[in-house]
Amino acid sequence: MFSSGAGDLFQLFRDGRPRTRSELVDETGLARTSVVNRLAGLTAIGLVTPKGLASSSGGRPAARLMFDQTSRVCIGIDLGATRGAVGVLDLSGRVLYQESRVLDIADGPTEILTWAVDTAERLLVASGHQQRDLLGIGVGVPGPVEHSTGRPIRPPIMPGWDGFDIPAFVRQRLMATVLVDNDVNLLALGEQATQWPAVDDLVFIKVSTGIGAGIILGGVLQRGSRGSAGDIGHVLVPGTANDRDLEATASAPAIAAYLSRDGVAIIGPGDVTGRIRMGDPTAIAAARAAGRAIGEVTAMCVSVLNPSVVVIGGQLGINVQEIIAGVREVVYRRSIPLANQHLNIVPARGGPDAGIRGAGLMVLSERLGAAAVDEMIAELD
């Protein structure tokens, strides 16, 4: 039987630096026998591998060991209202293979998840791995999720998904741990890990078909008691007629409806960005007004949560500069000075695979934690 506590020892290796057994003894204060036993468990499950020899100071050079980030993989599935993406990632969180397509989340869970699983299986083969190498699967969906069960809870733009058991469906064909979260939470994880690794307090706001926020405080993603933390799309916007909420005021469908109000031409949500880029003054003014509405709600978040960085993402957030300009205009004026004195409000820079990466990072955080690693080793006994 391998020694317990190997998971704690493994956490040292996650910085990517090779170490000798003697260095591990010095870092941990453990007896050499304990270190050797724990390394045996980590080697047996493929997480630690030999990495050459340390430089010699006169005697026989010591063997070094390191985290084998290629021994296993995880899968990230990013499902939005109108687009989906699937990727295979190594244990460092690097996306190895990915594929995306246009979709309609309203087609329902069976059709959408079947495509996602089909794609995941194909990409897994392309990566040269088999199901036994699969550490886990992360799934992001555009609606509230009870993270403990992986079931969407009354998602407003996902008809047919309420209460659907996503993990059970995926595990019918991919036998691994399945974790599900709101897509904007995963975007926040991906953005923080790749663009702001030194920042512990970050709010990511996605502006697209819907509007939501992912909140990281003290370096930890905040989901709330039932998974609805960050659901700012249904916060009422001060000063709007008929007490409209943020999604009804500033989302892509809301802007499209405003631009179509005269009945001369019907503008779809996907056409909003194009109208703005064409220089349509009405569309530009509508986008700036939407940015100010988002800024009203963001200012409340900034005053309450005191983040260091607010990231504006999503199709509108990234591609329409008037949105972020409107947000900045209001937040710097409305939030308390102590909260915004050193606040950065920036566009997302995670790229098109940010959602996939965030889904993978959720899996890696869960499955490479100390307790999970000890469980993997115990399964060998």
331: helix, coil or strand? helix
Residue 231's contacts (CB-CB under 8 Å, 6 or more residues apart) are 144, 212, 213
Report the pLDDT value the prediction gives residue 264, as an integer from 0 to 100. Answer: 62
Give the pLDDT band of residue 226 (cuts 50, 70, 90). confident
For 312-352, write each residue's pLDDT tens digit: 999 899 989 999 999 999 999 999 889 888 999 999 998 88
Residue 246's contacts (CB-CB under 8 Å, 6 or more residues apart) are 211, 232, 233, 234, 235, 236, 237, 293, 294, 297
Q: Domain 73-176+354-378, what architecture? A: 2-Layer Sandwich (3.30)
With contact defined as beta carbons under 8 Å apart, do 367 and 74 qualify?
yes
Looking up tokens 């996902």 gives: 158
pLDDT average, residue stretch 201-224: 95
With contact defined as beta carbons under 8 Å apart, do 342 and 117 qualify?
no
The answer to whether domain 6-67 and domain 73-176+354-378 are alike in fold is no
The CA-based diameter of the chain, rounded to the nearest angstrom, is: 85
- Which residue intervals of the chain are DSSP H helices? 6-13, 21-28, 32-44, 109-126, 166-171, 183-195, 246-250, 252-259, 272-277, 281-305, 314-319, 321-334, 337-340, 354-367, 370-378
Give the angle subtended at the CA of 276 by the CAs of 266 and 347, to the nearest 5°.
Answer: 125
Extract the tokens encoding 166.
């996503």
Pick the CATH number of 195-347 from 3.40.640.10, 3.30.420.40, 3.10.310.30, 3.90.550.10: 3.30.420.40
Task: Tell me the whole-structure pTM to 2 decimals.
Answer: 0.90
Give the pLDDT band of residue 54 (cuts 50, 70, 90). low
In this structure, what DSSP letter does residue 122 have? H
Domain range 6-67, CATH class = mainly alpha
Report the pLDDT value the prediction gives residue 1, as an integer from 0 to 100. Answer: 44
Domain boundaries, given as residue ranges, for the chain: 6-67, 73-176+354-378, 195-347
Give the pLDDT band of residue 270 (cuts 50, 70, 90). confident
With contact defined as beta carbons under 8 Å apart, do 206 and 317 qualify?
yes
